[in-house]
Structure 1
Amino acid sequence: MPNFLDQFAFVKLKLILLKPILLAVLCWLAPFAHAGVEADLSGRRIESVSVRFDGGQQENSTYRDAALKAFGVHPGNRFDPVRSDLMLNQVRRLSFVGDARYEVQTSGNGNLEVVLDVTLTQVAKPLVDSTMGLFATGDWQDFPTLYADDRSVLQAKLLNKSMVFSNTNAFFGRPDVLTAGNPLATAPSGKGTDTWFESSVEAGLYGISAVTDHISVFGGGSYIASGSWGPELFTDQSRVHGGVEDAYFGFIGRNTTDQGGVRQMSLLYGRKAFQVDNGMILRLASANGGDRAALQSNPRNAADELIHAQFVYDDHKLELFQLDPDELEPIDSHTVIQGVNYEGRVLPNLRLGAMALQVPESNFKYYTPTATYSREGLEILDLRLAFDPPASVSSFYANAELARQTNRNFDMEAWGGYAELGYQFRDTAWRPTLSYRYSKFTGDNPDTPTFERWDPLFAGGGGDEWVQGLNQYKVVQTSNVIAHRFMARLQPAPRWELTPQFWLFKADTLNNLGGAQALSVLESDDLGMELNLTARYVANPNLIFVFSAAYTQPGEAIRSALNNDYQNWFSASALMIVRF
């Protein structure tokens, strides 16, 4: 043991010489180390799609099949509110439909259940008379649909996210230590309570038009303005920023067999959000905070450039992509990612996934006490497995993912992954789901010639995805960390969901070079524990409220770095999402 500590004393000495380099590392990591709440359900996997006629009073299999075909949303898809709203207009135009809406709610394993609610018309309507939208009827009740006929839909987007966020003893009351070297931390929160308000408005136009019976072109564009007012996590400067968010176009070819099978091919280019599975590797395609403000509500999601091809054959999907994330301009690492991803249901309750990606370009650096390496040349192999029984029955479910990182330019072998097991009690009051997840992302052992620290790339998501601890994530990222998560999902009412969580955090290695500057060398593997509670109310897909609270105690590793001069950290927030 004494020899081990002596080695790390030597590492501490090396850190003094490496301080300028560490600052550069933190410059890049800062925008991504403080992901906020992903609350609008965008990007979640759709587990089931059902149709309800006249509030459940009617049933017609022919009408159901026609409505589902027009809606074009299937289990296994990722929920995209813009696309769902576009396709809903095609449902409304069906001759037997008087009106149509859809509802979404989370299932016990975090996926989505979509219900298409159709009101049948008493008199069949000819399609020539069913042109809809503000431009066609002059009726503002049709907004945001501007125009919809049998071949084209044009729709507006107007979205507001507004949040109140409060921190008490942020960074355990020691921002002077835990934010040292962070260029965003000009006046960080610390001892006492700071509360701020942030808001964003996104406006855009989206459309799809049929070229033939099976091929359509589509596109979309939007502009987003965001602002923060009051003393937030890193600064007390109020600021407002505006810029282009979505800007993409593409085409889609689609056919449905008589048996309900789906054959689909699409190609897209431009600025658009992108993620793979639940975001353990790729989710944060855009940075928030800094000059862009709105650090916690995360209004920006679109990559700077995305080339995406997708092929769907029934329950199997193959994606090819090239991604250039939209990082904060002053600290853009110019990372480009190329990859291929497969997802498929091989058995009724069993899903498999696999991804291979590479980084042909990047300025981002890895550091050890004796060497500097580049992310350029990074390669990842990723395998995923999910056991998903039907959402309507009480049962076990399980998810697992394992990924290996290497680099073609130097000796690297890093591992990351998780295993989750849960049980859904569908026939019990509040439909509780209890789960446990173990996740591990390796750190670098300085005694080996191989570089082993996991590169988190652009991981992210909500508190039940890859924001591991609403507070702790701001200090301990998804690298050199072992996390135990105990979680429950409760549904006290159809539109309400409560998600309590308990977290335990450990370090994989005591060498934490590449993390927060003050935690570069740890004296213990104990990083701390956290309690989270999130309440989500989905009034409808266009009006969502999310309330969150977190209480965090630092572990021995952090307490030692702070010389035991610390306070426990409490935060709370209220978020409203409105689509007009």
Structure 2
Amino acid sequence: MYSVIRILFPALIAIGTFPSPASAYEFYNDGSTNIDANLSVGYGFFSVQRSYIDRPGATRWQEGYLKYGLSGGTAIPGAGSIYGAVSLLGSATWGDGDPGGFTTGRERRNALEDAYLGWKSGDSIPVLGKDGIDISAGSQYVNVGSGFLIKGDKVSAGRAVDDGRYDRGGAYYLASRVAFSRTAVLRLGGDTGWHGSAIWLKSNNHLQADTELAVGTLDYTAQPGTLGFTFVHGISIDKRYVSTPSRLDRPGMNTYSIRGDGDAGIPNTHFAFEYAYQTKRSGNDNGWYAEAGYTFRNVRWQPSLSYRYTRYSKDFDSLFQGGFGDRYQGEIASNYSFSYNFNTRIHDVGLTVHPSEKFTVTLMYFNFRTLSNRSTLDLDASELTLYLDWALTKHLQFSPNFGVYKPRKYAANGGNQTGSAAANFYANLMIVANF
């Protein structure tokens, strides 16, 4: 599959630079039934000055993925509609592999990604609103609430972890594999007023110990925002793939959360929070965040300023937490040094400007402090990152980012950065095309 990606990628990018009437090719449409062909391709070049796996010197590697498949639906007169999708995803890593020790640079995999079927009620049950019932099952991406606990099955290790025992195809940073292998999802009530869901998930991600979960949500959405509740119950794991002790607590573990998101009726603002409490055999833990932001709409480039405070107790289990821009905080911290989602508190300040409709610039500062360094690594650090996002066409996105990560300690005195506690400079260049 890696040779296919290498050969096709330049051609696919070239195709993506030309306008087309839709983001998916309409393969068939007779007015009630449609079938679309979908294609997504991504490539990234990464360079990091220092590693976190006792590897001296700089690390340089590349990642790529190619996702291709069909999606569609058919209307049932007076009874809603049926929808579904099937896709394959090829992923690869080249070069040194990542500095966190997940990939070697020799990962190549082509495997099933999406394979699901669903039914939406349409207007057939007026009391529940349009599409007030949505039932689906199969291999699919699932997001719960804000993504603080569950936002896809994203972690994609390669051959570097336990001699390939947890290999999922690499492309660790791009995280293109997001589907849970087996799901059953019931959503009730649409998107406004009272609405909720009941979900069963089964992962086949060995790094997640093939975790099985039951999830319930209840939300109320109005103009000022959404207030919601989430319950997650751990059903089972595969003990053959327990990579960290926290996985052993998942069977029988209950997580309760309350969350909110919206502008609270104040123009140009954004507020969000979530508090999660876990009960498990080894003890109780919690994780939470609160954030606020303001956009200066009448100022040139419409700058947005945001602040987020996050705290995770020592043994908090972040489950299937979301990616960057959701709950991952920092580039080095969240991907390689792991100072971001347990036993830590984080200050996060962001400034975003829009020089043009197609160009966005974001500067983010993170400060990490380890809550307890007894029997654990001391991962106190700061990180500063500049993100540039260009929508070159409606299909093609170019997203470089540059930054520096500065730990307080290194591997020889309680931290985990190789060589010294000097600043670690990094650069990432990514291109993604969807059509």
TM-score normalised by the chain length of structure 2: 0.84
**C-alpha offsets along residues 277-304 of structure 1, whole Å, 9 cap, x if unaligned?**
3321112414313040211111111111
Separation in 1 of the partners of 2:92 and 2:312? Answer: 34
Q: Residue 221 of structure 2 aligns to which amino acid in structure 1?
A: R
Aligned to 1:406: 279
Aligned to 2:349: 486
- Structure with bigger helix share is 1
- Structure with bigger strand share is 2
Whether the aligned pair in 1 keeps the contact of 2:233 and 2:255 (CA below 8 Å) is yes
Separation in 2 of the partners of 1:579 and 1:365? Answer: 34
Aligned to 2:195: 317
Aligned to 1:576: 431
Aligned to 1:339: 215
- Give the 3-state SS of the residue equivalent to 1:406 in structure 2: strand
Separation in 2 of the partners of 1:214 and 1:506? Answer: 54
- Selected match of 1:355 from 219, 227, 230: 230
**C-alpha offsets along residues 410-452 of structure 1, whole Å, 9 cap, x if unaligned?**
3621010101011111111111111111000001xxxxxxxxx
**C-alpha offsets along residues 43-70 of structure 1, whole Å, 9 cap, x if unaligned?**
xxxxxxxxxxxxxxxxxxxxxxxxxxxx
Aligned to 2:318: 456
Separation in 1 of the partners of 2:292 and 2:191? Answer: 27
- Selected match of 1:159 from 35, 40, 47: 40
- Selected match of 2:404 from 546, 551, 567: 551
Separation in 1 of the partners of 2:327 and 2:395? Answer: 24
Q: Structure 1 residues 349 and 469 mapped into 2: Cα distance closer, same or farther (>3 Å)?
A: same
Q: Structure 1 residues 257 and 326 mapped into 2: Cα distance closer, same or farther (>3 Å)?
A: closer
Tell me, yes or no, if structure 1 residue 497 matches structure 2 residue 378.
Answer: no
Whether the aligned pair in 1 keeps the contact of 2:78 and 2:124 (CA below 8 Å) is no
Separation in 2 of the partners of 1:491 and 1:575? Answer: 19
Separation in 1 of the partners of 2:191 and 2:134? Answer: 15
Separation in 2 of the partners of 1:506 and 1:215? Answer: 51
Separation in 2 of the partners of 1:556 and 1:198? Answer: 29
Q: Structure 1 residues 199 and 505 mapped into 2: Cα distance closer, same or farther (>3 Å)?
A: same
Separation in 2 of the partners of 1:237 and 1:154? Answer: 36
> Following TM superposition, by how much is the alpha carbon of 1:214 offset from its aligned partner in structure 2, in angstroms?
3.8
Aligned to 2:286: 415
Separation in 2 of the partners of 1:255 and 1:546? Answer: 41
Aligned to 2:304: 433
- Give the 3-state SS of the residue equivalent to 1:546 in structure 2: strand
> Following TM superposition, by how much is the alpha carbon of 1:207 offset from its aligned partner in structure 2, in angstroms?
1.2
Bigger mean CA deviation after superposition, 359-368 or 227-236? 359-368
Aligned to 1:4: none
Q: Residue 223 of structure 1 aligns to which amino acid in structure 2?
A: L
Aligned to 1:565: 420
Aligned to 1:179: none
Unpaired runs of 5+ in structure 1? 1-98, 103-142, 177-189, 444-452, 514-518
Aligned to 1:285: 153
- Give the 3-state SS of the residue equivalent to 1:471 in structure 2: helix
Whether the aligned pair in 1 keeps the contact of 2:39 and 2:67 (CA below 8 Å) is yes
Q: Residue 312 of structure 1 aligns to which amino acid in structure 2?
A: G
- Give the 3-state SS of the residue equivalent to 2:388 in structure 1: strand
Q: Which has the larger radius of gyration?
A: 1
- Selected match of 2:181 from 296, 300, 304: 304
Q: Structure 1 residues 552 and 286 mapped into 2: Cα distance closer, same or farther (>3 Å)?
A: closer
Whether the aligned pair in 2 keeps the contact of 1:286 and 1:325 (CA below 8 Å) is no
Tell me, yes or no, if structure 1 residue 527 matches structure 2 residue 380.
Answer: yes
- Selected match of 1:225 from 72, 75, 90: 90
Separation in 2 of the partners of 1:350 and 1:236? Answer: 44
Q: Structure 1 residues 289 and 263 mapped into 2: Cα distance closer, same or farther (>3 Å)?
A: closer
Whether the aligned pair in 2 keeps the contact of 1:529 and 1:552 (CA below 8 Å) is yes
Unpaired runs of 5+ in structure 2? 1-19, 159-166
Whether the aligned pair in 2 keeps the contact of 1:170 and 1:570 (CA below 8 Å) is no
- Selected match of 2:30 from 134, 142, 149: 149
Separation in 2 of the partners of 1:342 and 1:159? Answer: 33
Whether the aligned pair in 1 keeps the contact of 2:80 and 2:124 (CA below 8 Å) is no
Paired residues, number: 396
Q: Residue 500 of structure 1 aligns to which amino acid in structure 2?
A: L
Whether the aligned pair in 2 keeps the contact of 1:261 and 1:314 (CA below 8 Å) is no
Q: Residue 369 of structure 2 aligns to which amino acid in structure 1?
A: K
> Following TM superposition, by how much is the alpha carbon of 1:367 offset from its aligned partner in structure 2, in angstroms?
4.8
- Give the 3-state SS of the residue equivalent to 2:323 in structure 1: coil
> Following TM superposition, by how much is the alpha carbon of 1:256 offset from its aligned partner in structure 2, in angstroms?
8.7
> Following TM superposition, by how much is the alpha carbon of 1:373 offset from its aligned partner in structure 2, in angstroms?
5.5
Whether the aligned pair in 2 keeps the contact of 1:278 and 1:461 (CA below 8 Å) is no
> Following TM superposition, by how much is the alpha carbon of 1:551 offset from its aligned partner in structure 2, in angstroms?
0.6
Report 1:89-238 matches (<5 A). 144-171=25-52, 175-176=53-54, 190-233=55-98, 234=101, 235-238=103-106
Q: Structure 1 residues 252 and 556 mapped into 2: Cα distance closer, same or farther (>3 Å)?
A: same
Q: Residue 111 of structure 2 aligns to which amino acid in structure 1?
A: G
Q: Structure 1 residues 167 and 564 mapped into 2: Cα distance closer, same or farther (>3 Å)?
A: closer
**C-alpha offsets along residues 134-159 of structure 1, whole Å, 9 cap, x if unaligned?**
xxxxxxxxx71101122111001111
> Following TM superposition, by how much is the alpha carbon of 1:101 offset from its aligned partner in structure 2, in angstroms?
6.2
Separation in 2 of the partners of 1:231 and 1:411? Answer: 38
Aligned to 1:244: 112
> Following TM superposition, by how much is the alpha carbon of 1:317 offset from its aligned partner in structure 2, in angstroms?
2.6
Q: Residue 454 of structure 1 aligns to which amino acid in structure 2?
A: F
**C-alpha offsets along residues 138-194 of structure 1, whole Å, 9 cap, x if unaligned?**
xxxxx71101122111001111111111111233xxx32xxxxxxxxxxxxx44333
Q: Residue 329 of structure 2 aligns to which amino acid in structure 1?
A: Q
- Give the 3-state SS of the residue equivalent to 1:304 in structure 2: strand
